[in-house]
Chains A and B, each alone.
Chain A
Amino acid sequence: MSIDLRAGSPPARVPFYNYPKVRSIAYQVALCAVIAFLVWGAASNAIDNLQKANIASGFGFWDNTAGFDISQSLIPYTNQSTYGRAFWVGLLNTLLVAGIGIVFATIIGFVVGIARLSKNWLVNRAASGYVETIRNIPLLLQLLFWYNAVLKALPDLRDSVKIPGGAFLNNRGLFMPEPIAQTGFGFVLIAIAAGIVGSIGYYIWAKRRQDKTGQQAPVFLVSLGLIVGVPLAVFFAAGLPLTFSYPEAGRFNIRGGIEVVPEFAALLFGLSIYTAAFIAEVVRAGIRAVSHGQTEAAYSLGLRPQPTLRLIVVPQAMRVIIPPLTSQYLNLTKNSTLAVAIGYPDLVQIFTGTVLNQTGQAVEVVAITMAVYLTISLTTSLFMNIYNSRIALVER
């Protein structure tokens, strides 16, 4: 038996402005209006100020000749290039140091993080000491330390350390022979590509077979053979189609070859070592988060320690590790802006430094730079989120 509750008395008349829905929409509209007004006010005020002060505005400067030199550039750049080109040089330099820094920081961070869990007293303590020291010293000081340590410890140009194989090391940087591909080198590249495709195919086949029959296949050895062995054979068969351009000592500097400038090295060391300390803690926390029962269960099923780590512990730990790891990657990228302190030509140094000063267009230049960092960070975040959702616990 049911009772109709509406039957008793008619509902009390509530004024429409007291409806929760109306209220929440009204508040949101009001907030949007306030924000829009602030943005409009700031923008029109800025335009007004700029016009009053006779300061050029707009993005017309982009195609003007820059007129200054940049010490490190991944794309051809001379002082006759445009400001726009200088922007790309700076952006690529930022991405270079951030990209390599992320790889190094991840490797060091995982090694140190696992070392902190080691039962070996010395290894454990050394890793703790590293983490506690590095993460408690401001990054800027560490960068200055690395820059001065790197510069001061290295010999002068005239007493360069000669590294076997034609490389030089001095306080101007590391100079290495540059490989130059000759005709026929394309075959080697094709062999490498074929090797990678073949390895993936073999991996899939091996996995299917293991699912069906339980038999394991030597995936690692076969892949190594396909990706390294075969191309090497092709390389010899093609008659060594690779020559090197060796660096040569000139009167002031070393010419030719690949050059790694000390500013880059100092920034890379500083960023990787600093961020690695944080990553180590993230990794340690992630592994600790996997219940010990999981390991015991694996052992009781007869798995050896190495597969236990690889198949049971790490996949579960990764779920805890990935989100904080993403924010460490973002921190590293953003921290690379400290490059200005040691003269590495990153985006901030070139663009909000020299270009801003030469053009005087602070609003445009700073806005572009902020948009670029936002884009880099959001992109990194996006990829890490995709990865995270792939490895997340599949709930059934």
Chain B
Amino acid sequence: MKKIASIIALAVVFGATSASAQTLKTVKDRGILNCGSNGSLAGFGLPDAQGKWAGLDVDFCRAMAAAVFGDDKKVKYVPLSAKDRFTALQSGEVDVLARNTTWTSSRDTQLGLNFAGVNYYDGQGFMVRTALKVKSALELGDASVCVQQGTTTELNLADYFRANKMKLKTVTFATSNEAIKAYDTGRCDAFTTDASGLYAERLRLANAADHIVLPEIISKEPLGPAVRHGDDQWFDVAKWTLNAMINAEELGITSANVAEMAKSDNPDIKRLLGSEGSYGEQLGLSKDWALNIIKLVGNYGESFERNVGAGSPLKIERGLNNLWTKGGLQYAPPVR
């Protein structure tokens, strides 16, 4: 790990300066998008047995590639650990970081990131063994908790126990895999991460029924894709990729009906799909950028259902991640 950090530091020291200025051009010239992803979180970023990547965050990178190249397969996925992810983005090793990353003020400012929006509203929770008969996180005083280092989770955990005047023993690991393995062997009483992650990890344990997720959600974890500071054009491409997916769901455009919808008379749909105006060109992309996203990847709802929702083993409810018109928080500014 030290080696990786040193290499990345070297990359920051010797790295080319031009990469940060014109990412869109660099990516187009290169012909492939470098996407920093989680390599081991079901539902967000995980290669399957055939090496095909899938997940909500992976879909975001596919959508960006579809918008830039008209081909969602022109993505190189770089699996990153929580602690190496920011340096990888800062040093230009990846063009975009879609790795279930919480949007916070210090990451926005000190780390030099720009968050393109929120593709999953999450919150931190705890998982414990059923045998402990714990009903609430407030009963966890004195417990040992396994946690992945370099995450907001690690900080929230400390805050929550301090705020509730409970003692805590944290055991931190560099990767989520190591943390969950240590929890599984009994090193810790509880495992904590974002609630979506808890459901995903629980499925991978030997006997999922032996573990329960406690009801408390102790933090706001708006997860979103991020790009580097200082390149507004690329930032716009990332923002509008996500907005296009959310708008498509709101307008009822799916990967199945996108061809028909392109002929629609609805001006909102015409603007989004590029048959009216030149909104794609304004972004530095082609006219049919959003059409490609929806055709190749689908709208936000489709991506959600396929990766984490009813169509996936995780079966997470839409909840906060439903559209604003259906009682959730997902809301995108209009294309016009």
Q: A residues engaging B (CB < 8 A)?
A: 42-43, 45-46, 48-50, 52-56, 67-71, 79-80, 148, 151-152, 156-157, 171-172, 250-253, 255, 261-263, 337, 340-343, 345, 348-349, 352-354, 356-360, 362-363, 365-367, 369-370
Q: Contact: B186 with A349, CB < 8 Å?
A: no
Interface status of B239 (Cβ within 8 A of chain A): no
**Residue in A closest to B181 when the chains form the complex, CB atoms:** A148
Given the known interface contacts A52-B20, A343-B182, the answer about A45 and B90 at a Cβ–Cβ threshold of 8 Å is no
B2, B162, B182: most-surrounded residue (chain A CB, <10 A): B2
Chain B residues with Cβ below 8 Å from A354 are 83, 149-150, 154, 172
Interface status of B8 (Cβ within 8 A of chain A): yes
Q: Contact: B174 with A356, CB < 8 Å?
A: no
Q: Contact: B14 with A343, CB < 8 Å?
A: no
> Nearest chain A CB to B206's CB is how many angstroms away?
13
Decide if the interface of chain B is mainly helix, strand, loop or mixed.
mixed
Q: Contact: B149 with A152, CB < 8 Å?
A: no
Q: Contact: A55 with B112, CB < 8 Å?
A: yes
Report the Cα distance A334→B101, complex, angstroms: 32
Interface status of B178 (Cβ within 8 A of chain A): yes
Stretch in B27-35, B163-171, B266-274 touching the partner: B163-171
> Nearest chain B CB to A78's CB is how many angstroms away?
8
Q: Contact: B186 with A53, CB < 8 Å?
A: no
Chain B residues with Cβ below 8 Å from A341 are 1, 174, 178
Contact of B1 among A46, A54, A172, A348 (CB under 8 A): A348
Q: Contact: B150 with A343, CB < 8 Å?
A: no
Given the known interface contacts A52-B230, A369-B2, the answer about A360 and B187 at a Cβ–Cβ threshold of 8 Å is no
Q: Contact: A172 with B187, CB < 8 Å?
A: yes
Q: Contact: B17 with A45, CB < 8 Å?
A: yes
Chain B residues with Cβ below 8 Å from A348 are 1-2
Q: Contact: B12 with A50, CB < 8 Å?
A: yes
Q: Contact: B83 with A343, CB < 8 Å?
A: no
Interface status of B5 (Cβ within 8 A of chain A): yes
Interface status of B15 (Cβ within 8 A of chain A): yes
Report the Cα distance A70→B171, complex, angstroms: 7
Contact of A53 among B83, B150, B230 (CB under 8 A): B230
Chain B residues with Cβ below 8 Å from A70 are 170, 172
Q: Contact: B187 with A56, CB < 8 Å?
A: no
Chain B residues with Cβ below 8 Å from A171 are 185-187
Q: 5 A-B pairs, CB-CB below 8 angstroms?
A: A42-B13, A56-B109, A148-B185, A349-B1, A353-B1
Given the known interface contacts A71-B170, A353-B174, A354-B150, the answer about A48 and B17 at a Cβ–Cβ threshold of 8 Å is yes
Q: Contact: B228 with A362, CB < 8 Å?
A: no
Given the known interface contacts A360-B111, A362-B9, the answer about A349 and B149 at a Cβ–Cβ threshold of 8 Å is yes
Q: Contact: A68 with B154, CB < 8 Å?
A: yes
**Residue in A closest to B152 when the chains form the complex, CB atoms:** A358
> Nearest chain A CB to B199's CB is how many angstroms away?
23
Q: Residue-by-residue, is B87-111 near A (CB-CB < 8 Å gives 1, otherwise 0)?
A: 1001000000000000000110111
Q: Contact: B174 with A362, CB < 8 Å?
A: no
Q: Residue-by-residue, is B146-180 near A (CB-CB < 8 Å gives 1, otherwise 0)?
A: 00011100110111001000001111111000110
Report the Cα distance A363→B7, complex, angstroms: 10
Chain B residues with Cβ below 8 Å from A152 are 185
Q: Contact: B155 with A67, CB < 8 Å?
A: yes
> Nearest chain B CB to A154's CB is how many angstroms away?
9
Chain A residues with Cβ below 8 Å from B109 are 54, 56
**Residue in B closest to A254 when the chains form the complex, CB atoms:** B142
Report the Cα distance A323→B5, complex, angstroms: 31
Q: B residues engaging A (CB < 8 A)?
A: 1-2, 5-6, 8-9, 12-15, 17, 20-21, 82-83, 86-87, 90, 106-107, 109-112, 132, 140-144, 149-151, 154-155, 157-159, 162, 168-174, 178-179, 182, 185-187, 189, 228-230
Report the Cα distance A232→B107, complex, angstroms: 59
Given the known interface contacts A152-B185, A358-B150, the answer about A68 and B158 at a Cβ–Cβ threshold of 8 Å is yes
Chain A residues with Cβ below 8 Å from B182 are 151, 343
> Nearest chain B CB to A52's CB is how many angstroms away?
5
Contact of B142 among A250, A340, A367 (CB under 8 A): A250
Q: Contact: A360 with B110, CB < 8 Å?
A: yes
Report the Cα distance A279→B68, complex, angstroms: 59
Report the Cα distance A43→B9, complex, angstroms: 12
Chain A residues with Cβ below 8 Å from B150 are 353-354, 356-358
Q: Contact: A49 with B6, CB < 8 Å?
A: no
Q: Contact: A71 with B172, CB < 8 Å?
A: yes
Q: Contact: B83 with A356, CB < 8 Å?
A: yes
Chain A residues with Cβ below 8 Å from B106 are 358
> Nearest chain A CB to B287's CB is how many angstroms away?
32
Report the Cα distance A353→B2, complex, angstroms: 8
Chain B residues with Cβ below 8 Å from A359 are 110
Chain B residues with Cβ below 8 Å from A345 are 172
Q: Contact: A52 with B17, CB < 8 Å?
A: yes
> Nearest chain A CB to B312's CB is how many angstroms away?
29
Given the known interface contacts A48-B17, A53-B20, A68-B155, the answer about A363 and B12 at a Cβ–Cβ threshold of 8 Å is yes
Q: Contact: A151 with B186, CB < 8 Å?
A: yes
> Nearest chain B CB to A230's CB is how many angstroms away?
41
Given the known interface contacts A151-B186, A171-B185, A352-B1, the answer about A363 and B158 at a Cβ–Cβ threshold of 8 Å is no
**Residue in A closest to B85 when the chains form the complex, CB atoms:** A357
Chain A residues with Cβ below 8 Å from B185 are 148, 151-152, 171
Chain B residues with Cβ below 8 Å from A54 are 109, 112, 229-230
Q: Contact: B110 with A67, CB < 8 Å?
A: no
Q: Contact: A340 with B170, CB < 8 Å?
A: no
Report the Cα distance A363→B12, complex, angstroms: 8
Q: Contact: B90 with A362, CB < 8 Å?
A: yes
Report the Cα distance A56→B86, complex, angstroms: 13
Q: Contact: B171 with A55, CB < 8 Å?
A: no
Report the Cα distance A363→B15, complex, angstroms: 13
Q: Contact: B187 with A69, CB < 8 Å?
A: no
Chain A residues with Cβ below 8 Å from B107 are 360
Chain B residues with Cβ below 8 Å from A172 are 144, 187
Report the Cα distance A50→B12, complex, angstroms: 8
> Nearest chain B CB to A46's CB is how many angstroms away?
4
Q: Contact: A353 with B83, CB < 8 Å?
A: yes
Contact of B169 among A71, A342, A366, A369 (CB under 8 A): A71
Report the Cα distance A79→B87, complex, angstroms: 24
